């Protein structure tokens, strides 16, 4: 039966219909940052491997193969590479059914830094560290300050030639007590780091890993045989932020901390406080809760000030008050040592005894103005101070 409706009825029905559509549509509309599932994780570069190997290649240490395809097992990306493919970190390729690293003996950055720059505040303060890096990274951090090497292929940069024995020889010649694998992501040049660290250990030189901690258990276990210290980024305590801002996942990083702790490697944790992402005290509380439960209170936690960099250049610098607030949260939660970085002249660079709260190390930048630790103990209350202080 045909029924005509009045204009009024029509408008009413249209109104109701619009509301319904709007409600339905709302389901697909991201409501806030937490609901967004941005994921910037990297991808394998198909058919991007060079035709043949170059001088600075070595067969990968951890991978599986079916004779044709390979799967890299160094980091949780577990890149599955068919012949001619290149890994997410850009350093590994499948050539002829074997996995090769193209980052071996070809560092593009070689410098001598103060150990505090890594940052490591409880590891032989005021010593030098011979720092090397090749290209590559298994993350895609939008704020990477070393993107010109971390987001490049080994063939795309100018590099020098320093095979593991050369690195150790130079460190020895220059009387530098440690070697740091740093700047880009050392896990992407795992084989080079591993071999250098092995030789360095044999020569009594210490090895320092500066990393995002995105590594699988077995290769890390293997590396810890030669490792003396690490600074590992804990970029946030939220898997969504890890995926959206860094292109990685949180859990494997937490596993790295647990393993380093189990193996007795000295490490310090660094969190870059990115405004709007990593500046919530609630998140810091949760993070500290996990640290205390799984690792204990002794590993220092550094809060670094963010400055606009690389692709994340439309955010302000972190307010210093936010850094102070997060440091206070960490200390209140029970972390014994928490530092502030990238704010020259701030008291948050100093080390205070967790027992008597007196100043142990007064720092003026990388220089030490006052040092009150004797044989690894507080000069005032004799409490053992966690870290590596032998010979100081």
Where along the sequence are the contacts to another protein (CB under 8 A)?
A: 7, 30, 33, 36, 38, 40, 108-109, 111-114, 116-117, 133, 142, 145-149, 151, 157-158, 183, 244-245, 274-277, 307-308, 310-317, 319-322, 325, 342-345, 363-367
Q: How far is the CB of 86 from another protein (least distance, A)?
A: 13
Q: Which is nearer to another protein, 45 or 290 (CB)?
A: 45
Q: How far is the CB of 146 from another protein (least distance, A)?
A: 6
Q: How far is the CB of 124 from another protein (least distance, A)?
A: 15
Token couple for 303? 């809060």
Alpha helices in 104-189 (DSSP H): 147-150, 164-173
Q: Which is nearer to another protein, 108 or 260 (CB)?
A: 108
Q: CA 30, CA 332: separation in Å to the nearest integer?
A: 35
Alpha helices in 237-338 (DSSP H): 239-241, 250-262, 281-294, 320-333
What are the beta bridge partners of residue 302? 270, 339
Q: Report long-range pairs for 153-157 (Cβ below 8 Å, ≥24 apart).
A: 153/48, 153/86, 153/90, 153/91, 153/102, 154/56, 154/90, 154/91, 154/102, 154/103, 154/106, 155/50, 155/54, 155/102, 157/108
Q: Which is nearer to another protein, 149 or 260 (CB)?
A: 149
Q: How far is the CB of 36 from another protein (least distance, A)?
A: 8
Q: How far is the CB of 379 from another protein (least distance, A)?
A: 23
Q: Which is nearer to another protein, 142 or 259 (CB)?
A: 142
For 67, other C-beta atoms within 10 Å of its C-beta total 7
- Give the orientation angle of helix 164-173 with respect to helix 190-202, to 10 degrees: 40
Q: Any idea how long the chain is?
A: 392
Q: Which is nearer to another protein, 368 or 392 (CB)?
A: 368
What are the beta bridge partners of residue 361? 351, 371
Q: CA 44, CA 18: separation in Å to the nearest integer?
A: 44
Q: How far is the CB of 268 from another protein (least distance, A)?
A: 17
Q: Which is nearer to another protein, 311 or 384 (CB)?
A: 311
Q: Which is nearer to another protein, 66 or 158 (CB)?
A: 158
Alpha-carbon distances of 170 from 35, 129, 160, 200, 287, rounded to whole Å:
51, 12, 13, 11, 40
Q: How far is the CB of 312 from another protein (least distance, A)?
A: 5
Residues ≥6 apart with Cβ < 8 Å to 131? 109, 110, 111, 112, 113, 179, 180, 182, 183
Q: Which is nearer to another protein, 67 or 173 (CB)?
A: 173
Q: How far is the CB of 10 from another protein (least distance, A)?
A: 10
């Amino acid at each position: 039966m045909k029924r005509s409706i009045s204009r009024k009825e029509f408008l009413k029905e249209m109104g109701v219909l619009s509301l319904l559509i709007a409600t339905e549509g709302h389901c697909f509309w991201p409501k806030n940052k937490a609901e967004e599932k941005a994921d910037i994780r990297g991808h394998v570069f198909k058919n991007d491997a060079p035709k043949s190997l170059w001088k600075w290649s070595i067969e990968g240490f951890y991978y599986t193969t079916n004779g044709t395809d390979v799967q890299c097992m160094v980091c949780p990306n577990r890149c599955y590479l068919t012949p001619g493919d290149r890994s997410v970190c850009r350093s590994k390729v499948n050539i002829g059914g074997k996995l090769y690293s193209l980052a071996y003996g070809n560092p593009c950055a070689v410098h001598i830094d103060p150990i505090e720059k890594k940052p490591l505040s409880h590891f032989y303060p005021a010593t030098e560290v011979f720092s090397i890096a090749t290209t590559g990274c298994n993350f895609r951090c939008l704020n990477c300050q070393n993107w010109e090497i971390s987001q490049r292929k080994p063939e795309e940069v100018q590099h020098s030639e320093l095979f593991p024995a050369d690195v150790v020889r130079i460190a020895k010649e220059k009387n530098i007590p440690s070697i740091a694998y740093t700047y880009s992501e050392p896990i992407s040049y795992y084989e080079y780091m591993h071999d250098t660290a092995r030789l360095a250990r044999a020569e009594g030189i210490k090895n320092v890993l500066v990393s995002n901690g995105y590594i699988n258990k077995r290769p890390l276990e293997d590396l810890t045989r030669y490792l003396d210290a690490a600074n590992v980024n804990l970029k946030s305590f939220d898997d969504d932020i890890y995926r959206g801002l860094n292109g990685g996942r949180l859990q494997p990083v937490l596993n790295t901390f647990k393993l380093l702790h189990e193996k007795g490697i000295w490490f310090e944790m660094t969190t870059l406080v990115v405004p709007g992402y990593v500046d919530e005290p609630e998140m810091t509380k949760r993070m500290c809760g996990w640290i205390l439960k799984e690792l204990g209170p002794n590993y220092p936690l550094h809060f670094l000030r963010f400055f606009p960099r690389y692709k994340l250049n439309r955010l302000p610098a972190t307010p210093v008050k936010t850094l102070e607030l997060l440091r206070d949260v960490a200390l209140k939660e029970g972390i014994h040592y928490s530092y502030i970085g990238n704010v020259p002249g701030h008291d948050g660079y100093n080390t205070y005894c967790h027992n008597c709260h007196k100043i142990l190390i007064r720092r003026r930048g990388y220089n030490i103005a006052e040092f009150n630790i004797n044989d690894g103990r507080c000069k005032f209350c004799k409490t053992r101070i966690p870290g590596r202080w032998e010979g100081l």
